[in-house]
Amino acid sequence: MAAKKKKTQSKSTSKTTSKLRSKSSATSKKTPAKAAKTSRAKVLTAKVSRRTVVPAPLSPSEAQAQLRSLAMNLWWTWNEIAQRPFVALDPVVWNATKHSPLSVLAHTGPATLAAACEEPGFRLALADARAALAAEMARKTWWDDECAKANPNACIAYFCSEYALHESIQQYSGGLGVLAGDHLKSASDLGVPLVAIGLYYRHGYYIQQFADDGSTKVLYPVYDRNTMPISDTGIAIEVPVGASTVRAKVLRMDVGRTRVFLLDADLAENAPEDRLLTEGLYKGEPLLRMRQQVLLGVGGMLALRALGIAPSKIHLNEGHAAFAAIEMLAEFRASGMAHDAAVKAVRARTVFTTHTPVAAGHDRYGVDMVCDGLARTLAKGGITRAELESLSRESPADAKEPVCMTIVCLRLADRINGVAKLHGEVSREMWMKAYGAKKAKDVPIGHVTNGIHMATWLDPRAVKFWKDECGFDAIAPTARNRGWKRAASADPAAFWAMRGSLRASVVRFARERLVRAAQRRGESPAVLDEFANILDPHALTIGFARRFATYKRAPLVFTDIDRLARIIGDAKRPVQFVFAGKAHPRDTGGQAYAKTIFEMTRHPKLRGKVVLIEEYDMEVGRALVSGCDVWLNNPIRPHEASGTSGMKAPPHGGINCSILDGWWPEGFDGTNGWAIGKADDGAFNEADAHGAGVARDLRDAESLYELLEKKLVPEFYARGRDGVPHKWIKRALASASTIPDVFSTHRMVSEYALKAYV
């Protein structure tokens, strides 16, 4: 047995260079604690060796100007080196303001700034950050090498209703915004000439709190724009929205190389109902929502014109921005083009990504409402009501059919895609009628599977681990990162030490958040002490964090409480769950799910082993995907178009346990995670809540329990003599070596660039 094990180790080691072989061999002899100590020593040595030349003293006013300049480019959101000087300036304020550089500056008095300028470490951090940003902006990019010469005038205008760029910039609600934010960052890293268009929301989405009974409290704060890296371009446009002429400021954010332009209609000169257009995200009745979309689409195109930007392509990320294509059509028609020729010209310049695999999830409005909202845009282009109907209905002759924003995009885009292979299949079946197709394969909808922006989501400790142990840059600005294949050869002891560090961090994070929420509810010192010591940093930790839409079935694991209690209550093999998520303010079903989970955290059989963190945002997401050992995902197939949260666990050594929905059928190979149940193409009938839906839930819950009992828990606690779970680690490293390279926005954006943008 020993000889066989030695032979296997030798075979695995031969895959790496001799330098890595000697390093791996030396590290494998260490205990996890010694490996972690060695890793910390390497970090310290690297910092000391780098800091050889201390920058010359600078005045507080010079430091203020340099810090503000650094803060105004959101490159800092995915580059720790650019965050460092703000942390050094005031770590307490940094953490208290959701890591907002401009808030740190606003709270820093002259004395504090002067004292910081006397510190060599602060001056080094600031100089390093500025030098790193300058080097990045001067770097030759993937686009320069692959596309620029053949496409010197390319400019892509990307439209989306929300952007998740950082937790301190609350302009997003969930996955659509996260995907859009990651898209912009990868466009910057790869050098793709892209500008983005959106709306600026005065109070963003909403702040979530849980009352003492677990019900959701919805708070609408008014954010101070001065604490956000947003500048005023000095340009204002007038947008025809129904009978109103809405004046909107054009604001700007810089995301590395990518420019983002946001429209703000909350101006004194606008009527009260028009100021509401940019009050908040996804608020109000259909009329308000439709008018917001006129501002986004028509206003976005007018803003580009006012800025002197002539896009070669527009990319509509979901149907909310469909009216951008209508405005382009009106311009072509106004220039003298015939209708069919104008439609063809718009199609040649338009890319559309659909994200919704459920028919009810696509925005639909009455024809009269849309004709009123677009009246002057339609009149400008001489677009008749009949022509609008032909562009916005599955069956143009059906007088009862409303305008569908997705149909507008399908009619006016040449390149159309879903966001995963399965979602592409579902979309082709969903829209057969719109194309008059008898077979789904004849519907011209493809797929570009979503990904994640690695540098945004990957913990710096993981970046360093893969560099030190496997010799590759996990956040390299390349379309593909083949280095991830080397992850399979990582030393088990060193890997387990990293996982221990990340797991301990998520436990600390959860404790801090739970104590904070308990203090707000006025809990007793005994309860605060309980939360301050809740969870076990050595226990198998399973995470579930996403939008609390009902189809995602957040409470599925609580189907059989007694069985779950037996699984998590084993003192020798403890298991714990960390939940987080938000439901739409009007989604009473999703809020009921959140309340159920809140109640489970207080259940006598589960207390201390199940926690729910309120106010799900990017910071919570980063903490959970990095620290949890298992990422749980159990939607109703095929309702999950893609999902990206599960893509963020593997580069941290986490493992997915998921329904075969969204991206997971493409990512799962049998060795790199677990599949709950089997692929089932049947759609869930929400009206049959006590029939097929219940049976499906019971079947999937049974599969999940069996996986926990027979696979997950036994593998995690099957330790070798060195205290390391080798079978578990083999699966985790298989996950890391097969998933991050493919499921990244660098790959995704390069795919859009080569297939749709040029």
**pLDDT tens per residue, range 109-160:** 999 999 999 999 999 999 999 999 999 999 999 999 999 999 999 999 999 9
Domain membership of residue 15 (yes or no) is no
What's the mean per-residue pLDDT of the chain?
92
Q: Show Cβ contacts of residue 178 under 8 Å, excluding neighbours closer than 6 positions.
A: 164, 172, 618, 621, 644
Judge if 296 and 411 occupy the same domain. yes
Any domain includes 25: no
Q: Which of 138, 166, 184 is the last residue of a domain?
A: 138
Ramachandran area for residue 155 (φ above 0: left; ψ -120 to 50: alpha; else beta): beta
- Are residues 539 and 671 both part of a single domain? yes
Q: Predicted confidence band at 686 (pLDDT cuts at 50, 70, 90)?
A: very low
Query: Looking at the 3D structure of the chain, how many domains does it have?
Result: 3
Give CA separation, 586 vs 199, 282, 555, 616, in Å: 21, 10, 19, 17
407 and 549, same domain (yes or no):
no
CB 469 within 8 A of CB 27: yes
Asked whether residue 197 is domain-assigned, the answer is: yes
Split at pLDDT 50, 70, 90, the class of 1 is very low
CA-angle at 321, arms to 315 and 323, nearest 5°: 110
Q: Which pLDDT value is given to residue 692?
A: 73
Q: Give the length of the chain.
A: 758
Strand 446-447 to strand 415-418: parallel, antiparallel, or no bridges (unpaired)?
Answer: parallel
> Is 24 among the domain residues?
no
Q: Are residues 80 and 199 in the same domain?
A: no
Check whether residue 227 and residue 326 sit in a common domain: yes
Full domain range(s) for residue 72: 60-138
Mean pLDDT on 735-755: 98
CA proximity to 174, closest of 184, 187, 158, 160: 160
CA dist., res. 422 & res. 663, Å (int) = 8
Based on the fold, state whether residues 551 and 637 are members of the same structural domain: yes
88 & 158 share domain: no
The reply to whether 78 and 176 lie within a common domain is: no
Bridge-based pairing state of the strands 258-264 and 244-255: antiparallel
Nearest to 548 by CA among 657, 428, 654, 635: 635
- The answer to whether residues 698 and 589 belong to one domain is yes
- The string of DSSP codes covering 183-238 is HHHHHHHHT--EEEEEE--TT-S-EEEE-TTS-EEEE-----GGGSS-EEEEEEEE
Q: What is the pLDDT of residues 454-477, one digit of tens each?
A: 999 999 999 999 999 999 999 999
* Domain closes at, from 88, 118, 138: 138
Please spell the DSSP secondary structure of 317-338, one letter per residue: ESGGGTHHHHHHHHHHHHTT--
**Confidence class for position 45, pLDDT limits 50, 70, 90:** very low
In a shared domain, residues 74 and 146: no
Rounded mean pLDDT, 546-569 = 97
Q: Is residue 268 part of a domain?
A: yes
**Res 703 pLDDT > 90:** yes
Distance in angstroms (rounded) separating the CA atoms of residues 136 and 399: 55
pTM for the full predicted model: 0.92
Predicted confidence (pLDDT) at residue 366 exceeds the cutoff of 70: yes
CATH number at residue 567: 3.40.50.2000
d(CA 497, CA 725): 12
Mean pLDDT calculated for residue range 202-221: 96
- Domain annotation covers residue 275: yes
Phi, psi of 414 (to 5 degrees): -90, -35
Q: Examine the fold and report which residue of 95, 123, 138 is the final residue of a domain before the chain moves on.
A: 138
Return the bridge partners of 577, or none.
542, 610
pLDDT confidence band for 724 (50 / 70 / 90): very high
Tens of pLDDT, residue by residue over 107-123, are 999 999 999 999 999 99
User: How much is the average pLDDT of 587-608?
Assistant: 97
What's phi and psi for 649, nearest 5 deg? -80, -45
Judge residue 741's burial from the number of C-beta atoms within 10 Å of its C-beta, 0-12 exposed, 13-18 middle, 19 or more buried: buried
Instruction: Determine, yes or no, domain membership for 598.
Output: yes
- DSSP symbols for 15-54: TS-HHHHHHHHHHHTS-HHHHHHHHHHHHHHHHHHH--SP
What is each CA distance from 501 to 39, 442, 488, in whole angstroms? 11, 51, 20
For the stretch 651-665, pLDDT in tens is 999 999 999 999 999
Contact 254, 272 (CB under 8 A): no
Note whether 434 and 516 are same-domain residues: no
Residue 238 pLDDT exceeds 50 = yes
Phi, psi for residue 158 in degrees, rounded to 5:
-105, 120
Query: Does one domain contain both 611 and 634?
Result: yes
Q: How confident is residue 355, by pLDDT bands cut at 50, 70 and 90?
A: very high
Domain-embedded: residue 478:
no
Question: Residue 18 pLDDT more than 60?
Answer: no
pLDDT score at 691:
57
